[in-house]
Amino acid sequence: MTDKPIISCRDLSKIYTMGEQEVRALDGVDLDIAEGEFVAIMGPSGSGKSSLMNLIGALDRPTKGEMWINGKALSEMSRDDLADLRNETLGFVFQQFNLLARQDAFQNVRLPLRYARKDAGDIDARAKECLELVGLGSRMDHRPMQLSGGQQQRVAIARALANRPRILLADEPTGALDTKTTAEIMHLMQDLNRQGITVVLITHETEVAAYASRQIHFRDGRIESDSAHPDLKRPSGG
Amino acid sequence: MKFGVATSSAAEALFSNPMRSLLTMLGIIIGVASVMVMMSIGEGAKAQIEAQISSIGSNVLTLQPGNMNRGGRNHGGGSGRPFAEADVTAMGELPFVQGVTGILSQQANAVSEEANWVSNIQGANASFFEVNNWRVAEGREFTTQEVQGGAAVAVLGKTSAANLFPDGRAIGQRIRVNSVPMEVIGILESKGQSGGGGMGMDRDDTIVAPLGMVRNRITGGNRQVSRHVSRIQMLVQDGYDVLEAQEETTALMRERRRIQPGEQDNFAVVNFADMIKQRAAAAETMSMLLAFTAAVSLIVGGVGVMNIMLVSVTERTREIGLRMAIGARGGDILLQFLFEAIALCTLGGLIGMGMGWIGVFAYAQIANAPMMVSPVIIATALGAAASVGLIFGFFPARRAAQLDPIQALRHD
C-alpha cells in the first residue's frame, strides 16, 4: 500500500472499568491505514471495533497508546483542536443518521460548514453541491421526517462531506436500511473513495464489507485478521 | 466562537416549543413587569413631590397659631390665638426675610354678573405674590398703597376666575364677595393641586384681596387681637439656612407672645417644602423596597430558567454530541445555550415590559398620578432580564459545553 499512513495506531488500548471488572475494549492495537483506502472493520459486538472507531474519530481518548491522524498525534491536541480536526478532516456517518429533526436537509448539511473555523467559502453553494452529489438536490427543504431512511442517510453523508474531509468514518451506515438501499449507499461510498476520500467502515455484515478494498476483523479488542496482511499472526489465546 | 450558528440554534430552540418557553419566561415576565411598575410609581411620586416643592418654594416659612403637631395632628390655623399685623411687621424686620405677608382667609360667596361661586378669600399684603412665587397671568397685582388704603380690588385664582367669568373677560369687572363689591384687577397663573396648606386642595380656587379691607369688611375683627391675621408667610433670602431661619423666627415669636422658657409654643413655624421632602424620602424608601421585592421575583424567575435549561441540556444531549462530532467546539455549545437562556429572558423581559407598561398606565389612571416610564427604567428592566439569563444560563450552558462527545452521542 502507500507508504504514508493517514491513520496510524500504536499499542492502542481502551480499558473500561465496570465496578471491579476491567474490560479491555481495545488491547494494544497497531494499525496503519493509508490515504485512499476503503477499509471495512468487522467483528462481533464487543470486539472493540466501535471503540476503535470512536478513537479514530477523535471523539474519545485512548487509555494507553498513541494515534496519529494526518501525521498529528492526537494525545497532544486540546479539546478544541480535536473539535477542529473532526470538523475539517473527518466526516461521520452514523447508523441512526443523527440528523437534527427540526432542520431541513439543507440546514443539516450546512451545519458543519457553519462551525468551520477556516473560511468555508460560500456555505449555501457548498451545501447544495453536497446534496446534489448524493442525489438529493430536489429535496433540500425536506425535514428528516419527510425522507426515507436511505434518503436520510444520504443527507448524513452529504453533511459528512460538506467540509471536504479526507477521511469518512461510517459506523454501521446501512444497519437501519434495507438491502436495495444498502447497495445504493455502498455504491455512493465507493464513488467517494474513488474520488480520493479514505473510507473506514464498521459493519458486521460480510456483504457490506465486500464493498471495501481491505477487511480487518476484530475479536476481543485485537486484530484477528487483516486482508492487507494475510501473514498476520493470530494473537495468542485469542 | 461562531455567533451565527449559536444565535440561530438558540432562536430555533426557543420557538420549537413555544408553550414551554412561555411558561419558563413567566417568572421573568412577572419580575420585569413588577420592577417596571414599582420603579415607575416611585419615579412618578418623586416627580409629583418635586413639582409640589417647586410650586411652594423650599424657602417659605409659614407661621400658624396653635401647636400644629399636638397629638401628631395639625389642629389647623386659627385654633390658637391669632397673630397680629404688628407681628407681620416685626417678622419683616428679621435680617434674612426677603418678603412677608399676613394672611386672613375665609370661605366666602362671590358673585359676578354672570355666576356665583363659593371660594376661599385670602386677605394678604402686597408681598403675598412674591412670597408665594405666584404671579399674575393677566392684569396686575395689588400694591402696598392699595393694601394700606383698603382698596376694594381682587386678584382671582384661575379656578375662581373660570367659574365667575365663564366667557373669560374678568379684568376690570366687578364682583361681590359676601356682598362687598370689588374690582377684579388680575388673574393668577395656575398652581394646580397642591400638597401645601391642604393636601389635594385646589390652590387656584381663591380670591386674593388687600388684608385690611378683607378684615374690615368680610371676616371681621378678633376680640383678643386687634388687626389680626390667621397666618404669616415669609420668604427666606436665598442662601440663608432655612432651619436657622426657622429657629430665629420661633425665638422672636416666643418673645413677642411672651412665652416663658420651658413653656410650649402656642404657634408653629412650618416649612412645608421640608415636610414634603421628608415624605418624598419615605416614598423613595418604599419604592426601593418594592423594587427590591420585584427584583427577588426576577431572581426566582431566573432559577426557573436555569431549571428548564438544565432539562433542555439533558434532553438534547444527543444533539450536543452530534454537534461536537461534526466540529462544534465547547465554546460553540456554551454560546448556544447561553444565547438560548438570554434570549428566553430578554423576550420574557420584553413581554414583561409590555405588561408593566399596561400596569403603569392603569395605575396612572386609577391613582391620577403622572405616568413615568423613563428610558432608564426600560433599560434597567431589560438589562436585569438579560443579566438573569446570562447568570442563570451560564451553569447549564457550561454543563453542556463540558459534555464528553462520545458519551453525549451515545445518550438516549
Domain regions of chain B by residue span: 3-52+277-410, 59-270
Q: Check pLDDT > 50 for residue B198.
A: no
Contact flag B330-A80 (C-beta cutoff 8 Å):
yes
More confident residue, A33 or B283: A33
What's the pLDDT band for B199 if we cut at 50, 70, 90? very low
CB proximity B139 to A under 8 Å:
no
Q: Do A86 and B16 touch (CB under 8 A)?
A: no
Cα distance between residue B400 and residue A93, in whole Å: 23
Residues of A145-167 as b/e, b for ≥16 C-beta within 10 angstroms? eebeebbbbbbbbbbbbbbebbb
The more confident residue out of B75 and A29 is A29
pLDDT digits (tens, 9 = 90+) for B286-338: 878 887 888 888 888 899 999 999 999 999 999 999 999 999 999 999 999 99
- Residue A54 to residue B406, Cβ atoms within 8 A: yes
In B161-229, where do the E strands start and end? 174-177, 180-188, 193-194, 201-202, 206-210, 228-229
What SS3 class is residue B12? helix
pLDDT value, residue B196: 43
Q: Summarize the confidence of residues B70-79 as an average pLDDT.
A: 51
Contact check, Cβ <8 Å, B329/A115 = yes
- Which residues of chain A are under the pLDDT cut of 50? 1-2, 236-238
Would you state the cell numbers that stand for residue A216, as one nine-digit string? 480487518
The H-assigned helical ranges of B220-329 are 242-256, 272-315, 317-325
- Three cell numbers written together for B271: 416649612
Residue B322 is nearest to which of A54, A88, A98, comparing CB atoms? A98
DSSP output for B346-375: HHHHHHHHHHHHHHHHHHHHHHT------H
Q: Which residues partner with B207 through β-bridges? A: B121, B156
Which amino acid is located at A206 in the chain?
A: T
Residue B365 C-alpha cell reads as: 389612571
pLDDT at B193: 61
Closest CA to B120 of B201, B232, B199, B186: B201
The pLDDT of residue B8 is 80
- The one-letter code for the residue type at A72 is K
Pairing of strands B136-139, B180-188: antiparallel
Partner A contacted by B340 (CB < 8 A): no
Strands A64-69 and A72-73: antiparallel
Euclidean distance between CA atoms B150 and B123, whole angstroms? 11
DSSP for residue A210:
T
A54 and B331: CB-CB below 8 Å? no
How many angstroms separate the CA atoms of A128 and A121, rounded?
Answer: 13
From A60, A58, A57, select the one nearest A25 (Cα to Cα). Answer: A60
Question: The complex's ipTM?
Answer: 0.92
B406 to chain A, minimum CA–CA distance in Å? 5
Cell of B12: 430555533
Report the residue of chain B nearest A85, measured CA to CA.
Answer: B327
Q: Which residue of A has its CA nearest to B13?
A: A102
pLDDT of residue A154: 93
Cα–Cα distance measured from residue B11 to residue A103, given in angstroms and rounded to the nearest whole number: 13
Residue B49's pLDDT band (cuts 50, 70, 90): confident
Q: What is the pLDDT of residue A147?
A: 94
Q: Where are the beta strands (DSSP E) in A89-179?
A: 90-93, 167-171
Q: How many CB atoms lie within 10 A of CB A177?
A: 22
Sign of CA pseudo-dihedral B41, B42, B44, B49: positive
Q: Dmax over Cα atoms in chain A, in whole Å?
A: 55
Phi first, then psi: give them for residue B235, nearest 5 degrees.
-100, 120
Q: What number is the average pLDDT over the span B16-37?
A: 87
User: What per-residue confidence (pLDDT) applies to B259?
Assistant: 87
Residue A237, C-beta contacts closer than 8 angstroms, at least 6 positions apart: none
Q: What is the pLDDT of residue B294?
A: 81
Only one residue has cell 391613582, namely: B367
Low-confidence winner among A74-83, B357-366, B391-400 (lowest mean pLDDT) = B357-366
Using one digit for the tens of pLDDT, what is the confidence trace for A182-203?
Answer: 999 999 999 999 999 999 999 9
Q: Give B404's contacts in chain A (Cβ within 8 Å).
A: 60
pLDDT of the residue at A1: 45
Report pLDDT digits (tens) over B222-270: 888 889 999 999 999 988 888 889 899 999 999 998 888 888 888 888 8
Residues A65, B93: Cα–Cα separation, whole Å: 103
Nearest to B405 among A59, A80, A163 (CB): A59
Calculate the CA B226 to chain-centre distance.
41
Question: What percentage of chain B has pLDDT greater than the value 90?
Answer: 46
| pLDDT tens digits for range B153-172 | 999 999 999 999 998 888 99
Size of interface A-B (CB pairs under 8 A): 62
